Chain A
Amino acid sequence: MSKGEVVVLDFWVSPFCMRVKIALEEKGVEYEGREEDLFGGKSELLLKSNPIYQKVPVLLHNGKPLCESTTIVSYIDEVWPSPPLLPPCAYGRAQARFWADFIDKKVFDAVGKIWRSKGKVAESAKEEFLEILKQLEGALGEKDYFGGDSFGFVDVIAIPLTSWFHAVEKFGGFKVEDECPKFSAWMKKCMQKESVAKIIPDPEKVYEFVIMMRKMQGIE
């Protein structure tokens, strides 16, 4: 399985970094995770490897950098083809890319709006968030995974964001399980996978992190 040296410039609570690590785990690729101190100061390596955005994750494959989590996951799928994350047919791949793009555009920001605000603003942010989850439930349909019978590209892109749900449920006073049971069932199924369970952090720790962020941004 080894196709060279693989390093991930990482930050434990970043759902974007989790995507890359889950993909590597799925493929059975050995990698070195290097935690970045995003508050204390980004490493020289990060700034050099991602001069445009200066963000994690960065995948370094034999020293060559790749940036932007969705692009990195596509790359991992191409270099280590087994098991495949994207479907074999062009139309299926376009659909997978569409939903990955939808998730990228909508979910993280919606989650952010809930924990970054209070009162009425948080309330309408919660409604927006649940609307998005319902749209994703529509895309999931009766399938086990977004990928169909097996865990695939869209599942990898989506599941890490759910590690932040516990925190926003607490702030928003709601439960995803009650509002979107199908989505919740999909989350549970994914969490049973070894690659996912290994990488997704304890939701309580994420909640503590979000509390800290709120304090830092003067929201409390």
Chain B
Amino acid sequence: MSGNDTTTLRWLLKKMRIRNDEQVNLIIFLQLYSLFLQPLTFFFSSEFLETMEDEVILLDFWPSMFGSRVRIALAEKGVKYEYKEEDLVNNKKSDLLLQMNPVHKTIPVLVHNGKPICESSIIVQYIDEVWKDKAPLLPSDPYQRAQAKFWVDYIDKKVNSPGRKTWCTKGEEQEAGKKEFVEIMKTLEEQLGEKPYFGGETFGFVDICLITYYCWFYSYEKFGKFSLEAECPKLIEWAKRCAQKESVFKTLPDEKKVFGFCIEMRKMFGLD
């Protein structure tokens, strides 16, 4: 409070017939308020709250198709986050990962304002619910939502194991893995039908959960000796369509880099 303010205030209090000693108490109180308490009200102002950002951390591993799902979802929503790479090649899981996901000890883990969310399809749903003002990923109709969840669950149950067999095994096991993988891709292609995306007109939950395998197709095809484009042309068309989206092409690692990773892993497993 300035000297002028104090003078004016004393005049006012005198006019209100407030006793001198009470005037002094009041003025001291108001001076303390303006010094200490009033500045704190800034932190409750919308101006401050808008500039205060959520703290979002992603624990991930660069080739993981599960981690990529989360990165695409965050990109779709325009959420800023800190990326932390886990050294899974050398099986050196960080203390933070073990603390945030004690049950499964796997990536990805999203840490939002200190609270962990695990399992990629659950994380994507969480992202869709929290940052709901932009780019909805799940449909609003409950039946369509259930259909989307059904197909993400199908992808989660079915794709990874045979996909992995195509590059990580040999002989009969590899052959069986390849056949199963192509069957599953054909089922998904049939489900896509004539729609531009699994979500219909717009890129959504099912698209995100499947497209992250796209950068692995090259490796599956090279090691498994087949062409997915020949087997499922419409699905590859869909994949190329999705890959034109900024959130996708900025997220997915280069397929040749993934291929190099597979070569390294095969050596480690004694396959080559």
Residues of A participating in the B interface, judged by any CB pair closer than 8 Å: 52, 61, 64, 66-68, 70-72, 74-75, 78-79, 90-91, 93-94, 97-98, 101-102, 135
Contact B117 A91 (CB under 8 A): yes
Cβ-defined contact, B142 with A68, below 8 A? no
| A97-B125 contact given A71-B150, A102-B103, CB 8 Å threshold | yes
Query: Per-residue CB proximity of B118-151 to A under 8 Å, as 1/0?
Result: 1100110110011000000000001101100110
Q: Which residues of A contact B118 (CB under 8 A)?
A: 98
Determine whether B115 belongs to the interface, using a CB cutoff of 8 Å to chain A.
yes
CB proximity of B121 to chain A, nearest CB, Å: 8
Least Cβ–Cβ distance between A178 and chain B, in angstroms: 24
B187 near A52 with CB under 8 A, answer yes
Closest to B118 in A: A98
Minimum distance in angstroms from A158 CB to a CB of chain B: 15
A and B contact pairs by CB, cutoff 8 A, 8 listed:
A66-B150, A70-B153, A71-B146, A75-B145, A93-B125, A94-B117, A98-B117, A135-B103
The A contact surface, by secondary structure, is helix
Which 4 A-B pairs have CB atoms at the shortest separation, nearest pair first?
Answer: A90-B129, A78-B142, A75-B146, A94-B126
| B126 near A101: Cβ-Cβ < 8 Å | no
How far is A120 from B123 in the complex, measured between Cα atoms in Å? 39
12 additional A-B pairs beyond A71-B153, A98-B119, beta carbons within 8 Å, are A67-B150, A68-B153, A70-B153, A74-B149, A75-B145, A75-B146, A78-B145, A91-B115, A91-B126, A93-B129, A94-B122, A102-B103
Chain B residues, CB < 8 A from A70: 153
Question: Is A72 in contact with B119, judged by CB distance below 8 angstroms?
Answer: no
**Chain A residues whose CB sits within 8 angstroms of the CB of B187 once the complex forms:** 52
Do A72 and B122 form a contact, CB below 8 Å, given A94-B117, A102-B103? no
CB closest residue in chain B, given A97: B122
B146 engages A74 (CB within 8 Å): yes
- In chain B, positions 63-114 with a C-beta closer than 8 Å to chain A are 103, 112
Q: Least Cβ distance of A82 to chain B in Å?
A: 15
Whether A94 lies near B125 (C-beta < 8 A) is yes
Please tell me the number of chain B residues within 8 Å of chain A, measured between CB atoms. 21
Partner of A66, one of B103, B123, B126, B146: B146
Q: Using CB atoms, name the residue of chain B closest to A104.
A: B153
Name the residue in A64, A67, A70, A94 with the highest tally of chain B Cβ atoms < 10 Å from its Cβ: A94
Q: Which residue of B lies closest to A67 (CB)?
A: B150
Let me know if B154 is at the binding interface, CB within 8 A. yes
Alpha-carbon gap, A74 to B122, bound state (A): 13
CB distance from A4 to the nearest CB of B (A): 11
Q: Which residues of A contact B122 (CB under 8 A)?
A: 94, 97-98, 101
Max chain B C-beta neighbours (<10 A), residue from A52, A70, A135: A52
Complex contacts, A98 vs chain B, CB 8 Å: 117-119, 122
B103 and A94: CB pair below 8 A? no
In the bound complex, CA of A102 to CA of B125 (Å): 17
CB neighbours (8 Å) of A101 from chain B are 119, 122
- Contact, CB under 8 Å: B154 / A52: yes
Cβ A90 vs Cβ B126 within 8 A: yes
Q: Give CA–CA (A101, B157) in the complex, Å.
A: 12
Contacts of B145 in A (CB 8 A): 74-75, 78
Nearest CB in chain B: distance from A127 CB, A: 18
Q: Which of B112, B117, B146, B150 has the most CB of A within 10 A?
A: B146
Contact A72/B103 with A93-B129, A94-B117 known, Cβ cut-off 8 Å: no
Distance in angstroms from B159 CB to nearest chain A CB is 14
Minimum CB–CB distance from A10 to chain B (whole Å) comes to 18
Cα separation A109 to B149 with both chains bound (whole Å):
22
Beta-carbon nearest neighbor of A106 in chain B: B103
Chain A residues whose C-beta falls within 8 Å of the C-beta of B143 in the assembled complex: 61, 64, 66, 75
Min CB–CB distance B95 → chain A (angstroms): 20
Q: Are A79 and B142 in contact (CB under 8 A)?
A: yes
B142, A94: Cβ atoms under 8 Å?
Answer: no
Chain B residues with Cβ below 8 Å from A64 are 143
Least CB distance, A180 to chain B, in whole angstroms: 17
A52 vs B187: C-alpha distance when bound (angstroms): 9
Residue of B nearest to A99 (CB): B103
In the complex, which residues of chain B have a beta carbon less than 8 angstroms from the beta carbon of A67? 150
From residue B224, how far is it (CB to closest CB) to chain A in Å?
24
Which residues does chain B contribute within 8 Å of A78, judged by CB atoms? 142, 145
Shortest CB distance B24–A (Å): 50
CA distance A79 to B154 in the complex (A): 23
Q: How far is the CA of A79 from the CA of B140 in the complex (A)?
A: 12
**CA of A56 to CA of B149, assembled, Å:** 17
